[in-house]
Structure 1
Amino acid sequence: MSEELILVTGVSGYIASHVAKLLLEDGYRVRGTVRDLSDEGKVAPLKALVPDAKHPIELVEADLTKDDGWDKAMEGCAFVLHMASPFPDLTTANVPEDALVKPAREGTLRVLEAARAAGTVQRVVLTSSFAAVHGEAAVDPEKNYNEDDWTDVESPDLDSYTKSKVLAEKAAWDFIKELPDERKMELAVINPGFVLGPPLMESHKGSTSVNYMTQIVNRTYPAVPKLMFPVCDVRDVARAHVQALTLPEAAGKRHIITTDSFWMKDVALAASKEFRPQGYNIPTCQLPYFVVWMAGIFNKTYKNHLLPRLGKVMKVDNKRMVETLGIEPTALDCTVQDMIYAMIDLGIVRKAKKYKQVGSRAEVPPAANGEIEDEKKDKGTEKGGEEQEKEKEQEEEKKELEPEDKEEKDEEIKKDDRQPSEAKEEKKKNNEEQKEESEAEK
C-alpha cells in the first residue's frame, strides 16, 4: 500500500499534520491540500515534518467552499483522509449557523463527489467528532455512550459546530449508501473526543485545543468549572486514522477515540504537577456554580451549554478504538505535559524563568543553541537559589509547628544564639549546683 497515493485534506491542521507525519514516516506517498500555497507559515513546516521521507509530501491548493482544484487533488489517489473542516473558536460569541453548518456539509459532499469522479479511490476516512455522538447539553450519567448513539440535530441547545459535525457525517453516510455498485467506495469514520496533545506547528495556536491549553498555562481564569468530557491524545487520533485506512473491519464503522472522561480539574492537575515547579501558576481550584450561573446571564454559551453539564459524569465506550483499531490510549499526564512542552518550544506560550526542559518530548525542534531562555542569567546563582528554597522550606516548617513545639524550638534557637561567655557561665553555675547537691547527699 505504501506506493499508493493518499490524499489528506486540510493537511496543515492540528490533527491532520500528525496524520501526514505518521504516513510519511511509514513510507507512504502523501498529497495534502491547503487553502493557500503561498502561506509559508503553514507550507514550510509541512515540508519539514519528515525531512528524510521516502516520498516527499506533495501539496496542492484546494478550498472546501470551491470546486476548483479538487479534481487535481484527487487524481490517482487510492485513499482519502478527509480532515478539513470549518472549526470556530468556541470561546468567543456563537458562530452564525450559515457560516459553519452549510459549508461543513457541502464541503464534505464536494470531497466525496471528487473521490467518486476520480474512479481510483477505494476508501475514505472521515474525521467527525464525538459531538456527533453526543452533543446535547443534557448528559445521562447512567448511560455509556457508544458509536450507536447520534446527536439529535433538532435539539434546541446545539451550537453551530456540533450541528455541523452531525450533518456532515450523516451526509457522508448517505452519499456512500446511494453510490451505484460499480462506483462503490468504503467509508470509515473517526469520532474523537476533546483532542489534546503536542502541536507540531506554531500555526496550531489558533486551534480550539491549543487555545484552551494556552489559557490554562497563562492562568487566563483563576479556576476551572466542574465539567467532564471525553479526552484523547492527538497522536492516538492520528494513529486511528492510519489504522482505519486499510483494516477490513474498520470499513462501514464509526470509531470513538477517547482515553477516558476527565474533569477539567484533572487536566489542570496534570499540568500543574509538571509545570508549577517550573514557574507556571496553573489554576486547579474549582469554579463555584454561582459564578458560572452569573456568567450565563451575559453569555448564552455558558447558560445553554455549560450550566446543564456542571457536575455531570459522562461515561464513554472506547472498546472499538482498542479492540478494532488496536490503539492503547495514551495516559492523560503524558498527553497534557507533552502538549505544554511542545507549546513552549514552539513559542505559543512563554518560557518561565525556572523552565529547565531543553527541547521536549513532542518531537519538535529544541530551543535555539540548546539553551533555555534566561538560563544563562541563572548560571552562577544556582547556589543562592538553593539557599533561598531551603530558607523558604524552613520558614514553612516553622509555621506548621504546634504552639508548644514552637515555644520549645524558639527556646532552643535562643540557646544556640547566646554568646559563648554566657554559655560558659551557665555551665559553671550548673557544675557548682551539682557539687553542692553531691555534698549534701554525703
Structure 2
Amino acid sequence: MVQASYPAWQDAAAPAAQVILVTGASGYVGSHVTKLLLEEGHRVRGTVRSLENEAKIDSLKNLVPDAKFPLELVAADLTKDEGWDKAVEGCSGIMHVASPFPDLTNVVVPEEELIGPAKEGTLRVLKAAAAASAKTVKRVVLTASFASVFGEPTPEADKVYNEENWTDPESATIDSYTKSKTIAEKAAWDFVKELPDDQKFELAVINPTLIMGPALLEGHKNATSVNLMSQIVNKAYPGVPRLNFSICDVRDVAKAHVKALTIPEAANNRHIISTDSVWMKDIAMAVAKEFKPQGYSISTGQLPYFLCWVAGLFNKGMKNNVLPRIGKVLKVDNKRMVEVLGVEPTAIDCTLQDMVYSLVDLGIVRKAKKYKQAGSRAEVPAVNGEVEEDKKEEKEGEEKAEEDGEKKELEPEDKEKKEDEEIKEDKPEQKEDTKEKEEAVKEEKKEETEGEK
C-alpha cells in the first residue's frame, strides 16, 4: 500500500483524525478518487444520493478490501440542503466531484436542468465547508471541466489553451452543459473570494478534458464517455465522424485530485488534465487493434460529413454538438498537470484498451466468444459460458494433438525420416573426425622430414 502524504495543515502523525470527503463517491470519477485515497491510507467519507441501494453500497465498500480505514458513506443530495453539514463534519479536505453529466451526443438538455443544479449544488458544498472551516476544513478540490476553459465548437487556429482562458457563459454558440460548468466554477471562485477570514479555506480546481479509462462500477454505464466507448465497441454506427478530442485518463484525474489536495502550489489555481488531442478514428483504431482479434467488429472508417449532416436532421445532439466540431483540432496545454501536480499522462492506447476491458468485465459491453481477458482489469465469470466453452475446445484440441503425435511415432515412414535426420546430424561429427586424422598424418610427415634434415 502507498504511504499517504500530508500537506502542512494535516497531522501526519495522526492520520486517523484526518477525514477526506468525496462527493459523488459512486460516480465514474468519484469512485477512482475514493479508491486512490483509500489505497494511500486516508480515512474517506463518501456521499451518495441514497443508502438504500445495497448493491451499489457493497461495490463501493469493496473498492479497496484491505483499506487501512473502511469507507464511510453518508446520504447527501446536491439538490437538497439536508445532509451536507453532517457530511463535512470533521473533514480536513473535501473533493467536490459530484456533478450532473448528461449524454450530449443524443439529447439536448434544457439549461434549467443543468445550470441550477450545477451552481447551487456546488455552493451547498462550499457553504457547508465554510461553516466547518474554522474547525477543520482547510482545502477544497473542485472537479470542474475543460468546458469552462474553452467550450466553443470552433477553436482559434494555432492557439494553445491554458488555465488563463475562460469560456464566455453568455456566448450563443455554447451548449447548456458548457454553460452550466462555466457558471458553477465562476460561482465557486467568487464564493471563496468573498468569504470572511474566519471562514476562509483554500480552493484548487481540476479541469479535465474528455475523461476516458476504466470504469470501476457497473453503474458507470450511463457516463458519457463510457456510453461513447460502448457505441464504438458495439459498432452502433458504420463509421466515426471526423472529430478531434482532447482526452485524459480517469486514473490521472484521480491522481490530480489527490495531488491538488496535498501540494501547496495547487491552492488557488486551476489545473487542466489532458493527455493529448486525438481523432475519433484513431480511438477506434486503437480499440480495434486490441479487440478485433478477440471477436469484436469495430468500425474504423470515416463517416462523410454529408451522412453526419443527414443524421443531424433527426438528432439534435448530432446537429448542435457534433456537426460544428467536425474537422476542428483543439490544442491544450497540460504544463501544470505535469510540472505542478507531478502527474505524467497515461499512454492513450493504455487508457482506451483498459477502458474496454473494464466494460467487458463489468458486463457493460458484451463478452465476445474469443475474449480471453488478456490484460483485463478483473477476473469475472464468463457471460453465457462462452469463455469456458472456448477453454473446453482448446483442451480437446490439445488432447487430440497429443493422440495424433503418439500415432505418428508408430508410422514406419516417420521412423525412417527420424533416422535420416539423426544420420545427417552425425555427419558433421564424422567430417570433423576425418579432418583431425588428416592433420595428424601431415604433422607426422612433417616431423619425419625435419628429423631427416
> CA offsets per residue over residues 299-353 of structure 1, 9 Å max, x none?
3332333222211111110111000000110011100111111111111111111
SS of the residue aligned with 1:379? helix
Q: Does residue 276 of structure 2 align to residue 254 of structure 1?
A: no
* 8 Å Cα contact 2:106/2:318 also seen in 1: no
- Please, which of 153, 156, 159 is the counterpart of residue 140 of structure 1? 156
* Whole-angstrom CA distance in 1 between matches of 2:368 and 2:128: 48
Aligned to 1:270: 286
Unaligned 5+ residue runs, structure 2? 1-5, 7-14, 402-453
Aligned to 1:294: 310
Measured after TM superposition, the shift of residue 295 of structure 1 is 1.9
Amino acid at match of 1:306: V
* Whole-angstrom CA distance in 2 between matches of 1:233 and 1:48: 22
Q: Does residue 338 of structure 2 align to residue 347 of structure 1?
A: no
* 8 Å Cα contact 1:353/1:373 also seen in 2: no
Aligned to 1:396: none
* Whole-angstrom CA distance in 2 between matches of 1:305 and 1:48: 37
Measured after TM superposition, the shift of residue 381 of structure 1 is 6.2
* Whole-angstrom CA distance in 2 between matches of 1:378 and 1:211: 33
Amino acid at match of 1:35: R
Aligned to 1:12: 26
> CA offsets per residue over residues 207-246 of structure 1, 9 Å max, x none?
1111111101000001000111110000000000000001
* Whole-angstrom CA distance in 2 between matches of 1:361 and 1:258: 24
> 1:8-407 counterparts in 2 under 5 A?
8-119=22-133, 120-357=136-373, 360-362=375-377, 364-367=378-381, 372-380=387-395
> CA offsets per residue over residues 135-165 of structure 1, 9 Å max, x none?
1112223100111111111111222211111
Amino acid at match of 2:111: E
* Whole-angstrom CA distance in 1 between matches of 2:59 and 2:395: 37
Amino acid at match of 2:390: E
* Whole-angstrom CA distance in 1 between matches of 2:106 and 2:303: 19
Aligned to 2:448: none
Structure number with greater Rg is 2
Q: TM-score normalized by structure 1?
A: 0.83
Structure 1 residues 374, 157: closer, same or farther in 2, change over 3 A? farther
> CA offsets per residue over residues 79-118 of structure 1, 9 Å max, x none?
0000011111223221111111111100000000001111
SS of the residue aligned with 1:211? helix
Measured after TM superposition, the shift of residue 371 of structure 1 is 8.9
SS of the residue aligned with 2:47? strand
Measured after TM superposition, the shift of residue 41 of structure 1 is 2.8
* Whole-angstrom CA distance in 1 between matches of 2:157 and 2:387: 46
Q: How many residues in Structure 1 have an aligned counterpart in Structure 2?
A: 384
* Whole-angstrom CA distance in 2 between matches of 1:226 and 1:26: 41
Amino acid at match of 1:275: F
**After the TM superposition, which of the residue ranges 88-97 and 8-17 deviates more from structure 2?**
88-97
* 8 Å Cα contact 2:214/2:354 also seen in 1: yes
* Whole-angstrom CA distance in 2 between matches of 1:263 and 1:141: 17
Amino acid at match of 1:271: V
* 8 Å Cα contact 1:125/1:187 also seen in 2: yes
Amino acid at match of 1:307: L
* 8 Å Cα contact 1:130/1:191 also seen in 2: yes
Q: TM-score normalized by structure 2?
A: 0.81
* 8 Å Cα contact 1:137/1:304 also seen in 2: no
* Whole-angstrom CA distance in 2 between matches of 1:345 and 1:182: 49
* 8 Å Cα contact 1:141/1:312 also seen in 2: no
* Whole-angstrom CA distance in 1 between matches of 2:305 and 2:23: 41
SS of the residue aligned with 1:271? helix
Structure 1 residues 383, 226: closer, same or farther in 2, change over 3 A? farther
SS of the residue aligned with 1:60? strand
* Whole-angstrom CA distance in 2 between matches of 1:196 and 1:351: 20
Structure 1 residues 20, 243: closer, same or farther in 2, change over 3 A? same
Amino acid at match of 1:53: A
> CA offsets per residue over residues 139-194 of structure 1, 9 Å max, x none?
22310011111111111122221111111100000001001122110000000011
* Whole-angstrom CA distance in 1 between matches of 2:371 and 2:321: 36
RMSD value over aligned CA atoms? 2.0
* 8 Å Cα contact 1:139/1:309 also seen in 2: no
* Whole-angstrom CA distance in 1 between matches of 2:195 and 2:308: 48
Measured after TM superposition, the shift of residue 377 of structure 1 is 4.8
* Whole-angstrom CA distance in 2 between matches of 1:73 and 1:308: 42
**After the TM superposition, which of the residue ranges 8-17 and 364-373 deviates more from structure 2?**
364-373
SS of the residue aligned with 1:89? coil
* 8 Å Cα contact 1:195/1:209 also seen in 2: yes
Structure 1 residues 368, 306: closer, same or farther in 2, change over 3 A? closer
Measured after TM superposition, the shift of residue 376 of structure 1 is 3.7
Percent pairwise identity: 65
* Whole-angstrom CA distance in 1 between matches of 2:217 and 2:315: 32
Amino acid at match of 1:64: L
* 8 Å Cα contact 1:10/1:34 also seen in 2: yes
